[in-house]
């Protein structure tokens, strides 16, 4: 498994393990669902850059979680975005195959209208990770 797949899987597992979020959405996906019933969460593909050291492989990633919801106002969506933040902050730092998250920071977030009565919330994180040999 690549560092990208491990990171995306770790994010998805953290969201699925966080009961307040997992119980409130219809699903947590790693690709856009064909028929996603709102609200649902999507762990976007990570954008990776080299962050290696002299003796360790490393990656810096930007990875986003997007929530999709329906309603007249985005109040519920804002609450769910807070649960995403809580789940990601609490996630385990060891993500498998020797990869370990050494830095995890919220980078930016936004709530926007996604059509009539539809809303989306994006939370992006900067992740730095190293592979332990």
Q: 4-63, pLDDT tens digit by residue?
A: 999 999 999 999 999 999 999 999 999 999 987 999 999 999 999 999 999 999 999 999
What is the per-residue pLDDT for 35?
84
23 C-beta neighbours (distance < 10 Å), count? 8
Which residue, among 115, 131, 126, has the nearest Cα to 38 in the 3D structure? 115
What the block records as the tokens of 78 is 């804002």
Alpha helices in the chain (DSSP H): 3-17, 19-22, 75-89
- Looking at residues 125-133, what average pLDDT do you find? 94
According to DSSP, the residues that pair with 98 across neighbouring strands are: none
Question: Using one digit for the tens of pLDDT, what is the confidence trace for 95-121?
Answer: 999 999 999 999 999 999 999 999 999
Kindly report the CATH number assigned to the domain that includes residue 57. Answer: 3.30.2000.30
Domain that holds residue 110: 3-131
Dihedral over Cα of 20, 122, 35, 74: its sign: positive
CB atoms under 10 Å from CB of 39, counted, come to 20
- Number of structural domains (the chain) is 1
């Amino acid at each position: 498994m690549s560092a990208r797949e491990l990171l995306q899987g770790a994010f998805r597992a953290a969201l699925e393990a966080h009961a307040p979020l997992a119980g409130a959405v219809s699903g947590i996906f790693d690709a856009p669902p064909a028929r996603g019933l709102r609200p649902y969460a999507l762990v976007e593909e990570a954008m990776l850059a080299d962050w290696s050291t002299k003796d360790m492989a490393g990656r810096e990633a930007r990875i986003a979680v997007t929530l999709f919801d329906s309603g007249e106002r985005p109040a519920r969506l804002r609450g769910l975005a807070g649960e995403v933040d809580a789940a990601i902050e609490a996630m385990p730092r060891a993500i498998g195959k020797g990869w370990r998250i050494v830095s995890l920071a919220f980078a930016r977030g936004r709530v926007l209208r996604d059509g009539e009565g539809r809303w989306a919330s994006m939370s992006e994180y900067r992740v730095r990770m190293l592979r332990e040999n």
